[in-house]
Structure 1
């Protein structure tokens, strides 16, 4: 899919600046992480300097972390505005000062992704009833999935626009843009459906059990309306059950 066909991509400079300034005003927390490394910090936007084309960010408390981000080739940023996720990235971070204090600076991004509220609402998958996605490396759009084919991986969460895969064995190609055709999405008590997904981002995590895991975020591609309805049915079912448990039912 070409960037211009991405309905979530914002490329109008005034709109990008407006969103960044809104994040600054609300002191929204921004997760900054180095691609392909289990390194991340939470920061905030201190200033949006249009004249110098810079976004000024609070620096990390540990100077060695700041140096890792400064030397990184690619850094991703994740935040939210009014509960709507926003993503952007930078290939260059530099040290600077802001109001006399150490800070970090990046160029104002040429684009950012902003999911819509309806598409961004996602539910966590119940641990006792896992949802699975079976992925076949190299599958073509016209191929069919046979029993025993592919690698089955657990899902962490799912929304109407995509899902998050927990790759404990780190065996899936996680390069952004990678397409996986004819995957099999298995949603408990709802059914199994063929889907195509595109890798959007990857984050290395260390779980509370100290187990290493790669969390891969992927978006649905050309999702049939019938499958979308079943995914929405599953999301609604899980949401109702989780809400009932919170209320003690």
Structure 2
């Protein structure tokens, strides 16, 4: 997980993150309100990252400066969160990673139901990673990414762009990839295009709550060492997907 930049930090990565850190209260509230409006899944890591819940932001109370979250169905996880003094919250609306740190949570009543309340954070990190047009790959005909080590591990692509791709991991596969990890050479068989062999850097691995409540993970990756020939191959595949999508619409 990315941590907030401490005052006077000299680490280059932390200095880079400072560019994406928002400290204006009204702007923070605006971004958090968008999470509530979109009903976007939010992961709350508690107890120094040893436990987490996947929930949704119900409301941003500007009067009390509180965030209200739905309780987890897992009562043990709720109790762990309520006992935690410092919590890291992560979400990715429209693929843009958002992270912030909150203090202790308390259980409250919100519109007649139990909820979890935390103070609005002082800072928020919002990483814009959408430099390239992305297109989803067809779920009924998955495109598979073969990981180099250990051999035999396959993960389906969720989307792809000229800059990178996202991979979908089942709940029991979340430890296959880690933030900041670099893979020297993965193999992706792009339909109507050919075999792409390329390096990947894992930007983040995040829990995602599916439409019917099933939890899985999404790994956001960027291409490493892409050649012009490989870029042409990816562009050709994206064009193929666009052509197929337009044909379905017609």
TM over 0.5: yes
SS at match of 1:119: coil
**Maintained 8 Å contact 2:166/2:220:** yes
Pair 1:151 & 2:153 matched: yes
1:46 paired to 2:49: no
Counterpart of 2:135 (choices 118, 122, 132) is: 122
Residue 205 of structure 2 is aligned with which of 179, 198, 201?
A: 201
Question: Which residue matches 1:60?
Answer: 70
Report what 1:24 is aligned to: 33
Matched, 1:184 2:197: no
- In the TM superposition, residue 154 of structure 1 has moved relative to its aligned partner by 2.1
Give the drift of 1:220. 0.8
CA–CA distance in structure 1, aligned partners of residues 124 and 174 of structure 2 = 32
* Residue correspondences, number: 225
What's the CA shift for 1:47? 4.0
Q: Deviations over 1:40-93 (max 9, x none)?
A: 2222451468xx9x6x3223156846545445675443253xx56342143655
Residue segments in structure 1 that go unaligned for 5+ positions in a row:
139-148
The structure whose RCO (Cα within 8 Å, separation 6+) is larger is 1
Q: 1:181 to 1:6 in 2, by over 3 A?
A: farther
Q: TM-score, normalised by structure 1?
A: 0.66
Q: Which moved more, 1:229-238 or 1:189-198?
A: 229-238
In 2: Cα distance, 1:242 partner to 1:57 partner: 39
TM-score by length of 2: 0.65
* Contact 2:44 2:52 (C-alpha < 8 Å) held by counterparts: yes
**Counterpart in 2 of 1:137?**
149
For residues 32 and 62 of structure 1, the distance between their equivalents in structure 2, rounded to whole angstroms, comes to 11
